[in-house]
Structure 1
Amino acid sequence: MTTTGEDHGTALRGPWWWDRRRSAVFDSSLAVVSALECAGEGIPFARAAGIPVAVGVVFGLSAGSVLLIRRRWPIAVVLVAIAITPAQMGFLMGIVGLYTLAAAELPRRIIASLAGMSLVGTLIVTFVRVRQGMDRGSLTLGDWFVPFASIATSLGLTAPPVLLGLYVGARRRLMESLRERADSLERELQLLAERAEERAEWARNEERTRIAREMHDVVAHRVSLMVVHAAALQAVARKDPEKAVRNAVLVGDMGRQALTELREMLGVLRSGEPQRQVAVPLVAVAAVASRVVEEEPGGEGPCLSELEELVGQSAAAGMVVDLSVEGDARSYAREVEQTAYRVVQEALTNVHKHAAGAKAHVRLAHRVSEIAMQVENEPPPEVASASSARLPSGGNGLVGMKERVLALGGVFVSGPTDAGGFRVSAVIPAS
């Protein structure tokens, strides 16, 4: 089972102020070594000061154990180290304390002040001890050795731990900054992934709706005409055999066209590699499917030049259709012509479904910056309504037309007329 960074840090948290148990063990070990060092150095200090040796050892143990709190109170450790410098003890504590102080998140002026105090204290003590040694005759070097030894010793005990602490502290802050930046980037990537997934889901839903609309527009119109012709064929089969034969031929042609278009659509939706069970991305399917369902044998898809043929198919099915065109005909963008064609096609299909026998008026107007179309049918005769072919309706035709027109920035209006018919109007920008 995986754990988050927060859970991992909590699980490794050590006692008291330590972040990890390993740090507590390390500091305890340093404190023990420092206490032993100070205890050993307390013996000559006690003899020189004329106090009992036990007191010097206890003092050294107490002073050296202060190193245990170096992570929590580094200033206190450095101050104690400076205070016991005259006794010539606590060298390890002073070095580790200065390192911890420089690496801590403290103002630079505090670090500089305490480092300077430690440097001066070590310089003075070293100068005095070396001078005393030369006075006793244990050192026979020249007078130059006293300042040299004092400066070298004080710098050697102060500068390296301070510089190393500053470097480690800066590196630690850099790593923390990089870690925070990486966490922030990970959160941003997660948000982007969630948004991308939402957009992908939205795109899939949109493409499903688009495919359903394309199938409805392409197939439903021909199937509706087939049902109308089949009803007419049933009515005139005995009275007018020749007309029945013509209707049968039309039904066959339209059925073959509908099956071809439906087969092409299903072939695109099923395309892929079934052996490897790799699903075709829906966006790619929709792109190809849209191209398949919109392309006719001519390769350019339905356009306004085929509008008369569309009206002729409805007229052949027994509908009285009046087509009027206003303005100078011109070419439009492919999407505009396809949408205008589909609106008229679906409107005529609805007349076949819901107003069999009614006269329909199709008006097309070419304007300066837009194209307008209107399909209006008169009330159906009662006899024709009673003998309707009873075509099923899914209720998606008007929704699909409105979606197509609004997608191009147009206006779509539909509803019943005062005379009892139905009117579908749409205006689409020319560009």
Structure 2
Amino acid sequence: MTTTGDDHTEARSGPWWWERRRSAVLDWSLALLSALECSVEGYPFAQDAGIPEAAGVAFGVVAGSALLWRRRWPIAVVLVSIAIAPAQMGLLLTVVGLYTLAASELPRRIIAALAGMSLAGTLVVTLVRAQQDTAGGEVELSVGDWFVPFVSITASLGVTAPPLLLGLYVGARRRLMESLRERADSLERELQLLAERAEERAEWARSEERTRIAREMHDVVAHRVSLMVVHAAALQAVARKDPEKAVRNAALVGDMGRQALTELREMLGVLRSGDGAGRRPGASVPLAAVGAAAAAAAVSRAAEEPGEGPCLSELDELIGQSAATGLVVDLSVEGEARAYAPEVEQTAYRVVQEALTNVHKHAAGAKTYVRLAHRASEIAMQVENEPPSESSSVSSARLPSGGNGLVGMKERVVGLGGVFVSGPTDAGGFRVSAVIPAS
């Protein structure tokens, strides 16, 4: 039996083998009553047996006091009651002993054997006493020979059956309650374990969503900002030599900045709407408390809505923006172009975009080849650049690199079940390849 809290404290408050103080008080009271009963019944027994009355009273006190150990040794108590049954004493000892025996955790065969012995002993004693009383009467009974056996059987069953059945009921009920408590404790532990696992999963989900948000922000802003830096470097190089080209480059820088700000506002607007959907109007929540899961879910919904995210049809515009910086980009498409799932097209676009951004950062002015292949069940893309040119006018742009571009591309492609490979070429350039399932 498992107990917790106050029940546990109460269960350990009794002396010796008693679990509670009230159980000890009850057993002491029953033992005193049983000792008093047996001592009273021991007096006539001593007279009939021809022994001193004091010895009979002492014997009754000792036998009746056996009830004190009924919880610890119920078998011994029942055996004592069977042993003193011929002395016609120990009715309370017999009744309480059988009840305790039936309510205990002992095997049923032992309970049945001891109950049968007690029934047989009580039956024999009752039968003998009834015959003695009938034979010693001056008036002969006219009810027949069945009267004595009937009275004996009824009396023995009346002494044995009720406490035995009550004990079996109480024992079964106690075991049921213990089973329910254990089940409740087990369910509580399982709920606690589930709560811990849910917290771990939530923490993992928050970490994953933070990574997704960072990747989305990187893809949205980094490319255009990189182009702005490249154009600014070119503007610095030609400002005095070719004012007209400097003006065009300045206009391109302005356009790129406005586009970057527009995409950034859209992204922040999606995050704000995703966070504010579950708050009351006017509620003030610090930025650190923004729900990462809600924000990333909003980002994902925005990315999956038609027209919201980039698609493969915008590759020409993307390459044109890189070409405007002086980068030579060769685009080749194999297979028949068709529509893909929004997340597939967005991932393919982002791979090409990030690969071109890396070319601007690390191989400014190098000729770049972009290959796109539409296959039966997949779409493949490859971006490869030649070694950077040392005489490039934009080589002094010195674009910073956070080292997360390739990681973000791989995460996107692998998340859709594709394959991503990147690394330097034998000629000194760099190659990025990806294959994404079409569905």
Alignment of 1:216 with 2:226, yes or no, is: no
CA distance in structure 1 between the partners assigned to 2:347 and 2:96 by the alignment: 81
CA contact (8 A) 1:102 1:169 kept: yes
Query: What amino acid sits opposite 1:94 in the alignment?
Result: T
* 1:18 alignment partner in structure 2: 18
Query: What amino acid sits opposite 1:154 in the alignment?
Result: S
* 1:127 alignment partner in structure 2: 127
Query: What amino acid sits opposite 1:251 in the alignment?
Result: V
Shift of 1:300: 4.4
CA distance in structure 2 between the partners assigned to 1:45 and 1:416 by the alignment: 111
Shift of 1:140: 6.8
CA contact (8 A) 2:372 2:382 kept: yes
- 128-137 or 32-41: bigger deviation: 128-137
Task: Decide whether aligned partners of structure 1 residues 189 and 385 sit closer, same or farther in structure 2, where only a CA change above 3 A counts.
Answer: farther
CA distance in structure 2 between the partners assigned to 1:112 and 1:424 by the alignment: 83
Q: Determine which of 196, 199, 204 is the counterpart of 2:206.
A: 204
* 2:336 alignment partner in structure 1: 328
Q: Determine which of 366, 374, 389 is the counterpart of 2:374.
A: 366
CA distance in structure 2 between the partners assigned to 1:93 and 1:276 by the alignment: 75
Deviations 1:329-367 (A, max 9, x none): 112222211111000000001111111111111111112
User: What fraction of aligned residue pairs are identical, expressed as a percent?
Assistant: 81
Task: Decide whether aligned partners of structure 1 residues 218 and 295 sit closer, same or farther in structure 2, where only a CA change above 3 A counts.
Answer: farther
CA contact (8 A) 2:352 2:383 kept: yes
Alignment of 1:108 with 2:108, yes or no, is: yes
Query: What amino acid sits opposite 2:320 in the alignment?
Result: G
CA distance in structure 2 between the partners assigned to 1:170 and 1:295 by the alignment: 61
SS at match of 1:275: coil
* 1:171 alignment partner in structure 2: 173
* 2:55 alignment partner in structure 1: 55
SS at match of 1:382: coil
Q: Determine which of 259, 276, 301 is the counterpart of 1:291.
A: 301
Deviations 1:136-172 (A, max 9, x none): 3388753454233212211110000111111112222
CA distance in structure 2 between the partners assigned to 1:71 and 1:11 by the alignment: 15
- 243-252 or 205-214: bigger deviation: 243-252
SS at match of 1:331: coil
- 97-106 or 19-28: bigger deviation: 19-28
User: TM-score when scaled to structure 2?
Assistant: 0.90
Give matches, 1:153-302, under 5 Å: 153-270=155-272, 271-272=275-276, 273=279, 275=283, 277=285, 279-292=289-302, 294=303, 299-302=307-310
CA distance in structure 1 between the partners assigned to 2:229 and 2:11 by the alignment: 74
CA distance in structure 2 between the partners assigned to 1:13 and 1:221 by the alignment: 74
CA contact (8 A) 2:365 2:395 kept: no
CA distance in structure 1 between the partners assigned to 2:383 and 2:135 by the alignment: 122
Alignment of 1:304 with 2:306, yes or no, is: no
CA contact (8 A) 2:380 2:436 kept: yes
* 1:343 alignment partner in structure 2: 351
Task: Decide whether aligned partners of structure 1 residues 139 and 366 sit closer, same or farther in structure 2, where only a CA change above 3 A counts.
Answer: farther
Task: Decide whether aligned partners of structure 1 residues 181 and 329 sit closer, same or farther in structure 2, where only a CA change above 3 A counts.
Answer: same
Shift of 1:100: 1.0
CA distance in structure 2 between the partners assigned to 1:263 and 1:11 by the alignment: 65
Alignment of 1:32 with 2:42, yes or no, is: no
CA distance in structure 2 between the partners assigned to 1:58 and 1:412 by the alignment: 97
CA distance in structure 1 between the partners assigned to 2:360 and 2:82 by the alignment: 104
- 185-194 or 166-175: bigger deviation: 185-194
RMSD (CA atoms):
2.4
The runs of 5 or more residues in structure 1 that have no matched partner are none
CA distance in structure 1 between the partners assigned to 2:163 and 2:248 by the alignment: 105
Query: What amino acid sits opposite 2:199 in the alignment?
Result: E
How many residues are paired up? 427
Shift of 1:208: 0.8
